[in-house]
Structure 1
Amino acid sequence: MVAPLSTWPLENLGNFKYLLYGPLVPKVLYSRRANEVLPQQDVWCLHLLIICALRSAIYTACTNHSNAHYLTLKRRILPQGVGFKQIDSEWHWDNFIILQAFMACWSFPFLVDLPLWNSKGVLYALTFHVGISEPLYYWVHRYLHSDYFFSNYHSLHHSSSATVCHCSNMLQMTPQLSEPLDQDLVFLQNELSLWDRK
């Protein structure tokens, strides 16, 4: 029996998983057609779609560059290249982008009226990142290296023979759920800066 949340529910969908972006697209298109001032939530959905497309393009460009034999022959850190077995096992590397897009779109409805910039927010972001987010990420990752969690969850991350940028996100679903949650603490800095202003 497989450990709970050790596989992505999106794996059964194959390439049809991109249809999950469907609810975001009509929301943006309808708000554009209405010729009104866009509600903040609809602008947020548009920004998420743009960010997801850019992240996918950057990951693909980095991987194509790192796998281009004529460019990286003399600059390789590891002598072995990426084989077809590794490419097949990491084909659906972008599951985490879909998951994080939905988490961002529907997890912060109370943050609709945030200002674009607040200088206190930088201090809060630095404090949360250095004081909470980084230590939490370190201890969660260290916990994933314990016997049970490594064999059931984290071993896929270390199973790649040649490390490329997709390997870092070749995780099961559970670590992808925990990492954005500790990163969400950083986003709360904007809300805290609003409380200071009131």
Structure 2
Amino acid sequence: MASQPGPLTRWPWHRLGNFKYVLLAPWVAHSMHKFMADSGEQRDMFNFLIFPILLLRLLHSQLWITFSRFQTAKGKHRIVDKSLDFDQVDRERKWDDQIILTALFMYMVNMVVPGASHLPWWESRGVVLIILLHMGPVEFIYYWLHRALHHHFLYSRYHSHHHASIATEPITCKGCSLSLSLCVCVCGSLI
């Protein structure tokens, strides 16, 4: 937690604890029902695949966390000669909140934006456009947002949590606050 927690430091589902995945249940049930009820070209594959993609992202993240902690425990390739302590593990245990936020955001965008689910799966011009948008405005916004988080007012309320970890891992930044995650999610959805 930040040294002086600000508003939106905690996730809205913080009190649910490990039951936070229940938030996705209505969306998953709706997408499965819609997939089964529709037929042929009417089927919404994007909406149906959001939950399996979420599960793949959780598995992918967990594999990198395990590999990183194994490397830290082994001690041959450490950048800082300090081991991972229990305080850091406890501080970073909510790494999956951003993945849940992204899934909820994807379900909502798919429901609100007409035709979002019927976009083509692959288009070369789209890939080039995504790369250019990511290299340009998204990285620019993310860089300046991160610089702003080092201002003493924002640092003490949101960003000190991130810098409290000495032995960095792939999930060190994923335990950040809701406000930063919302900014990153919105910037990432621009592409």
Please indicate, yes or no, whether the TM-score normalized by the shorter chain is above 0.5: yes
**Higher deviation after alignment, 116-125 or 152-161:** 116-125
Q: Over the residues paired in the alignment, what is the CA RMSD in angstroms?
A: 2.2
Shift of 1:33: 3.8
Tell me the secondary structure at the aligned position of residue 117 of structure 1: coil
Q: TM-score, normalised by structure 1?
A: 0.83
Opposite residue 138 of structure 2, the aligned amino acid is S
Matched, 1:176 2:181: yes
- The one-character-per-residue Cα deviations of 1:106-165 (angstroms, maximum 9, x if unpaired) are 124232331222232133223312221111111111111111111111111111131111
**2 CA distance for matches of 1:32 and 1:114?**
17
Give runs of aligned pairs for residues 28-47 of structure 1, distance below 5 A.
28-34=31-37, 36-37=39-40, 39=42, 42-47=44-49
Residue equivalent to 1:5: 8
Shift of 1:67: 1.5
Residue equivalent to 2:27: 24
Opposite residue 161 of structure 1, the aligned amino acid is I
Instruction: Determine which of 124, 149, 164 is the counterpart of 1:159.
Output: 164
Instruction: Determine which of 125, 131, 142 is the counterpart of 2:130.
Output: 125
Shift of 1:69: 6.1
Opposite residue 16 of structure 2, the aligned amino acid is L
**1 CA distance for matches of 2:177 and 2:166?**
18
Residue pair 2:80, 2:166 contacting (<8 A) in 1 also = no
- Structure 2 spans left out of the alignment, 5+ residues: none
Q: TM-score, normalised by structure 2?
A: 0.86
- Structure 1 spans left out of the alignment, 5+ residues: 187-198
Residue pair 1:32, 1:38 contacting (<8 A) in 2 also = no
Opposite residue 79 of structure 1, the aligned amino acid is D
**2 CA distance for matches of 1:88 and 1:39?**
45
**1 CA distance for matches of 2:124 and 2:56?**
27
Opposite residue 25 of structure 2, the aligned amino acid is G
Residue equivalent to 1:143: 148
State the identity as a percent: 32
Residue pair 2:93, 2:175 contacting (<8 A) in 1 also = no
**1 CA distance for matches of 2:96 and 2:74?**
24
Higher relative contact order (CA 8 A, sep 6+): 2
Aligned residues between the structures: 185
Instruction: Determine which of 63, 66, 74 is the counterpart of 1:64.
Output: 66
Tell me the secondary structure at the aligned position of residue 167 of structure 1: coil
**2 CA distance for matches of 1:112 and 1:156?**
37
Q: Write out the 4+ residue segments of structure 1 that deviate beyond 4 Å after TM superposition.
A: none
